[in-house]
Chain A
Amino acid sequence: MERSDVRSLYRLAALLACAYALPFAIGGWYGAVHANERWLGYLATVVISGVLQGGVYAMFAVGLTLIFGVMRIINAAHGEMVMMGAYLTWVCFFRLGLDPLLALVLTLPVAFLFGVALQKVVLHAVVGQPELTGLLVTFGLGLVIVYVTELIFTTDFRTIPYAPGTVRLTRTIAVGQSKVISFVIAVAISAGVYLFLKLSRLGKAIRATALNAEVAMVCGIPVRRVYLITTGLAAALAVAGGALVSIQFGFNPETGTVYTLQAFTIIILGGRGHYVGALIGGVMLAVLEGLVSLLVPNGTAMVELAAYTLMIFVLLIRPGGLMGVKDA
């Protein structure tokens, strides 16, 4: 590591420390911080749910980081794919009577094929173009997904009643059952994808293409096929994320945008194209969001603001993120 690299890492660490301290400072100012057992219980609950939530965020952010890492395309429709996953799960639950987790067996192959088709028809032409082209193409695609969904399902909020119970850890700390289940599934899927990327031939080909597409091509890697599989995988991860989000929160066609920006924040915090970085970034963001919504007045709106501000500051201090390479 160069010295400037180390220095920017320290600065990033300082920024994150400030980011975590700030909600407490604001909460203290407005008298939302207490020292009794009950409040500490709340705090622990928020942090634990944040970690659980972060696992799910991280999983769908990995999809974004894959596309960005391999093809240098910013997929502005990623959140919309997450939302699509939530609706697919809803259909499976209410129309086919499938358990939301069992439904993954059906929805993931569908999502993979959707990703492959998307790559074939649209994204192949965008690889290597200036970033605006990719942004606009995927944004347009996102609009199509949103409004087609709206046409079919209307803008009503939907929820999937699944595992509504809570898991009680101590007398004051309790987290939702659905959160724990989602976390376990997300960790399992993330670990599976990680092993696939690390160990299988195809996974190695994907990583090689991400490092340098031209050299990969010279080495005989079928780069276009790698692109197909990457987008398919990314779409599947997004849809899986949607399924896991859908059993915890309500959703409507407009919710996708927030997920897109969350995923951006996560991959920038973690380092673009970096797998483990995305997982760390996901957990860090979710914990911060939990703290903000607990401590800061007007928390729900501030959660979004916190995420965007964090993203911009990380970009300014260290565009490569926590684990990333220096290239911007």
Chain B
Amino acid sequence: MTRSEHLRNLLALGVLGLVLALLPPALNVYLRSFALFTMMYVVLALSWNIISGFTGYTSFGHVIFYGIGAYACAILVADHGWHWLPTLLVAAGVAAAVGVALGYPVLRLKGPYFAIAMLGAAEGVRVVATVWDGLTHGGLGISLPSVENSIATYYAMLGLMLITILVAYAVGHSRFGIRLNAIREDEVAAEALGINATAYKLAAFALSAVFPAVAGGIQAYKVLYIDPPSVFFVQITIAMALMSMLGGKGTVIGPIVGAVLLYTAQELTWVNFPTAHLIAYGLFIVIVARFMPRGLVGFAIDRGWARKGMVH
């Protein structure tokens, strides 16, 4: 990709950021929180994509990091009286540490075994959060001190989203990203070429753990109440995977498009069909995975609507 194309993409991102930054006064409370959660899902899908799209390790328990971030933020704010902004850094640090500690053993597993291990780990962490009364208040959950905060959290999420997009873009176009792709295509061959696959996978995993944790922290401060079933909800993992797949996993634009489309669709069906929307959601998952495993981006490339380099 040429320098001018990079500049064009950066400019597009800047314009997007500017528009979203100027938007809040024009929005009512509902739309503002809708925009916030859309941005959150962009963050989640993009970070999941770093380990699972670029590196090919299907993390079926990525909600772990989101939940840990939410808990780190909630515990520090509610029990220790911190201001909420520094807690986001703590959340990021804790998630990166957990990512390394968990990834080091688990990333040795391949294919379906990694996916199952992550699924089990996520359920296990949820049980720990339920049982460990002393730290997490157990099943009662944590209520955060209430203040009007929808503007502050909006801008925090916007900032996080822009950083995540930048990082994902940088990863996607760097040697680091190319090496991750090499690991995805053939790990043995990649190692034979001198790529330290373990270190690269671990770095990708830790990186993909950081952003969901911060998103979880902001979300906790936005919603003001968290409990284990809501922040360690397996469907959040599914949403990350599905959004990436819908847009096109392994690309940068794909998860963004997928997250915006899917979250909007979910919100619309939820508002209009409160009882049937989960059935529709399930069917939608089946249909997307069955008919569009390469996503919209792959669909567009196959039909010659987009060039490969343009969308990555």
Contact = CB atoms under 8 A, between A and B. Distances in A.
8 closest A-B pairs by beta carbon, nearest first, are: A140-B285, A143-B282, A144-B282, A308-B124, A136-B289, A140-B286, A308-B120, A147-B278
A135 B52 CA distance: 14
Given A136-B285, A268-B116, A305-B131, A312 B121 contact: yes
Interface stretch (A20-28, A239-247, A257-265): A257-265
Contacts of B127: 301-302, 304-305, 308
Contact of B290 (A125, A264, A265): A125
A79 B289 CA distance: 20
A305 B275 CA distance: 32
Interface in A286-328: 298, 301-302, 304-305, 308-309, 311-312, 315-316, 319, 328
Interface of B: 52, 56, 58, 60, 105-106, 108-113, 115-117, 119-121, 123-124, 127-128, 130-131, 234-235, 238, 241-242, 245, 249, 275-276, 278-279, 281-286, 288-291, 293
Given A261-B119, A304-B127, A315-B116, A126 B245 contact: no
Given A140-B289, A257-B234, A147 B282 contact: yes
B244 to A, nearest CB: 9
A316 B241 contact: no
A74 B115 contact: yes
B128 A305 contact: yes
B185 to A, nearest CB: 12
Nearest to A257: B234
Most B-side CB within 10 Å, residue of A139, A146, A268, A319: A139
B121 A308 contact: yes
A141 interface: yes
A132 B245 contact: yes
Contacts of A309: 124
Given A139-B238, A265-B120, A305-B127, A133 B275 contact: no
B107 to A, nearest CB: 11
A144 B278 CA distance: 7
Given A136-B245, A141-B282, A143-B281, A74 B112 contact: yes
B113 A315 contact: yes
A135 B113 contact: no
A142 B130 CA distance: 24
A206 B123 CA distance: 33
Nearest to B60: A135
Interface string A228-265: 00000000000000000000000000000100010011
User: Do most interface residues of chain A lie in helix, strand or loop, or is the interface mixed?
Assistant: helix
Given A137-B289, A144-B282, A311 B58 contact: no
A163 interface: no
A310 to B, nearest CB: 9
Nearest to A74: B112
A132 B52 contact: yes
Contact of B285 (A130, A139, A302, A311): A139
A301 B290 contact: no
A78 interface: no
Contacts of A131: 58, 111-112, 115
Contacts of B234: 257
Contact of A151 (B112, B117, B279): B279
B285 to A, nearest CB: 3
Given A137-B290, A315-B117, 15 more contacts: A125-B290, A132-B115, A135-B112, A136-B241, A139-B285, A141-B282, A141-B286, A142-B282, A143-B285, A144-B283, A145-B282, A151-B275, A265-B120, A308-B121, A316-B106
A300 B112 CA distance: 28
A122 interface: yes
